[in-house]
């Protein structure tokens, strides 16, 4: 999954180090934020209703705050899944074209 702001792809961290990327939730969707975009992305992230933290994750149909551990049901999807599926399909097609070179 790329950074939701700039589209940069996450690379594996160096062995023994944790990733500098952050997870967050925007509009009930989990997103990744690269280190360069984190300062400006903080205002976009959904906040916990109990503690105000932006350290949220989405699991199945729930959103969990990793600071205070509040778990709530996620709101129903507002955008159709075909939007994300078509962009993913296009990205996979481009990656296959790069790797296979039009065989």
For the stretch 14-38, pLDDT in tens is: 888 888 999 999 989 999 999 999 9
pTM: 0.67
Q: Which pLDDT band, with edges at 50, 70 and 90, does 82 fall under?
A: very low
Apex 79 CA angle, 77 and 81, nearest 5: 85
CA atoms of 103 and 88, how far apart (whole Å): 21
User: Does residue 79 have a pLDDT over 80?
Assistant: no
Instruction: Label residues 85-97 b or e (16+ Cβ within 10 Å = b).
Output: eeeeeeeeeeeee
CA atoms of 42 and 74, how far apart (whole Å): 20
How do the domains of the chain map onto residue ranges?
22-75
């Amino acid at each position: 999954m790329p950074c939701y702001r700039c589209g940069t792809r996450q690379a594996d961290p160096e062995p023994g180090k944790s990733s500098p990327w952050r997870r967050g939730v925007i509009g009930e969707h989990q997103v990744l934020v690269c280190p360069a975009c984190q300062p400006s992305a903080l205002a976009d992230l959904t906040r916990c209703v109990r503690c105000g933290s932006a350290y949220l994750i989405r699991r199945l149909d729930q959103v969990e705050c990793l600071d205070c551990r509040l778990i709530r049901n996620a709101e129903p999807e507002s955008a159709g899944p075909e939007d994300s599926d078509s962009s993913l399909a296009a990205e996979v097609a481009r990656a296959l074209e790069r790797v296979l070179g039009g065989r």
